Structure 1
């Protein structure tokens, strides 16, 4: 940290610099939003977005009512499609309908079954859930939640160093080579004052219930490592091991894969091709093409069950990277109230 300095002041201190002008009251900000919406280029952006595939990437669903409101909005604005729909479009070379949207869930905690499925089934909207295979049928918490709890209760690991908060802790663990990450997690378990609470995960029979309700099951590796920090053998073991487990439980091989942490890895791409996977999903916060040109690198938009209806609109309209989207963010409201 910088040293503190002691200074004797014999004359009045200089005037403090003027504070930066405020961003403007909400009314003024909304006025700018309205002007952007009337921008002549917006209809063209909307038209282009209508011809692209929007894949929404959720994790858990914490607010079923808000999630239901999002689904109602999607039914009005877009055409929900299923994982098999996207697969057929790729294999047959036929574009999906205009404004197609696919709903996906990564990690697939039990709220996908308890909160999301009733809302999806009530509206007959298909989806896909990408599961961490080694957690199915266990009460083992997600490793990142476990690490955060252990660190908050005195857990220490040699490779971690000093981190200012849970976000830095997780970023540091993810940046480690995978053997070091696993070893650090074990050191956290040994040194913490108390262990992380158990977390009931989906069971094999739950996977069948989801699939029967038009929620396809996909591969999300065995243990959710950052594949870019894994050696070649671990990349193969993480994908192939999960593939074998899911094939045994489901009675058929999964055809879709979601990259942990959303980052593409060419070695994983090669393994997926060898295993016959037809779809692979990133988390790069982009719209995808109406007919995916790189089926193992399909873009997705990150959302959650509390994302505002206004934000959902801007994402589906292709505005998520525009000045309009940046202005809309401070105006977000709970989706259930949207």
Structure 2
């Protein structure tokens, strides 16, 4: 019996080189098309409902099953991925951070992406960060800058150590509320554009969500504000999840088969307990490996990144 499923994770899908922010790391549209063709010829692409049935009802998976997942509800997904998948009769599973749709905010993680994309020299950004950290240190105990850099400037294999230092400082290490205030200030200085207008350009809206559901796509929970869930209390985690579910229900998602994708991959045992109590059918992490429905927890299934697979039928 086949128990393996290759779950592929996507983020930005756009014509990167000709976009307003060519420094953004993402997947070119032609490469997305090429990878979908590769997957069609070498795997059996299934729906999220098929995977749910396999896990909860014992339905058989085809050999070399694959599932396509898309994080953060970018307009790229509606404009580029959705038409390609719909034309081929393939379902994609799209994970929505509700606050960005409801309040027209920009995720901190995206603000950091765009700040980095506008910088010619990341070392200048690091110098600016050190100055800000020195100010924060007057009110909050932090290791000295040399220790911070040595601890967090470590490549993840995709980004340099310098870039990872910036990301780690601004995503998780620096304390709140200093971290968000600093990210907001850097974003405003780098982009010079109203956040609401930028958000409407970056993410899908409710009507587009409804169109995607009508077109056979699956929309899932990516929390309300996209936090690291494992840094929150149990009540805070539950509120993040329930608040996103309200949006999903509003746009017509089948809440009998709702699924979850952890922002940044962050989760803990409390997260899994909440999901179980709320009847979540599947959860997705960022652990990198092929998922096994027999051995892996169905509420924290691992995925492969798009960069882990060929982007052409001929490779």
Same fold (TM over 0.5): yes
Deviation of the 1:224 alpha carbon: 1.0
**Structure 2 counterpart of 1:76, from 22, 28, 41:** 41
Residues 192/91 of structure 1: CA separation in 2 closer, same or farther (3 Å cut) = closer
Distance in structure 2 (CA, Å) of the matches to 1:266 and 1:289: 20
Partner of 1:260: 263
Partner of 1:232: 234
Aligned length: 262
TM-score, normalising length from structure 1? 0.68
Of residues 212-221 and 253-262 in structure 1, the stretch that sits farther from structure 2 once superposed is 253-262
Q: Does 1:189 align with 2:154?
A: no
| Alpha-carbon separation, structure 1, partners of 2:95 and 2:80 | 16
Equivalent of 1:66, from 24, 31, 38?
31
Contact 1:133/1:221 (8 A) holds in 2 = yes
Max Rg structure: 1
Q: List runs of 5+ in structure 1 lacking aligned partners.
A: 1-47, 314-333
Give 1:173 shift: 3.2
- Equivalent-residue separation in structure 2 for 1:190 and 1:275 (angstroms): 37
Provide the rounded CA distance (Å) in 2 between the counterparts of 1:251 and 1:71.
25
Query: Which residue of structure 2 lines up, in the alignment, with residue 101 of structure 1?
Result: 66
Q: For 2:169 and 2:99, how far apart are their aligned partners in 1?
A: 23
1:36-55 → structure 2 map (5 Å cutoff):
52-55=4-7
TM-score (norm 2): 0.73
Write the mapping of 1:8-23 to structure 2, written as runs, cut at 5 A. Answer: none
Maintained 8 Å contact 1:189/1:195: no
Q: The residue matched to 1:97 in structure 2 has which SS?
A: coil
Closer, same or farther in 2 for the Cα pair 1:107/1:149, shift >3 Å? closer
Which of 258, 279, 282 aligns to 2:282? It is 279
- List per-residue Cα deviations over 1:299-319 (Å, max 9, x = no partner): 11111xxx4xxx525xxxxxx
The residue correspondences of 1:170-209 to structure 2 (distance < 5 A) are: 170-176=167-173, 180-190=175-185, 194=189, 196=191, 197=193, 198-199=198-199, 200=201, 201-209=203-211
SS at match of 2:286: coil
**Shift of residue 110 of structure 1?**
0.5
Using the TM superposition, name which of 160-169 and 65-74 deviates more: 160-169
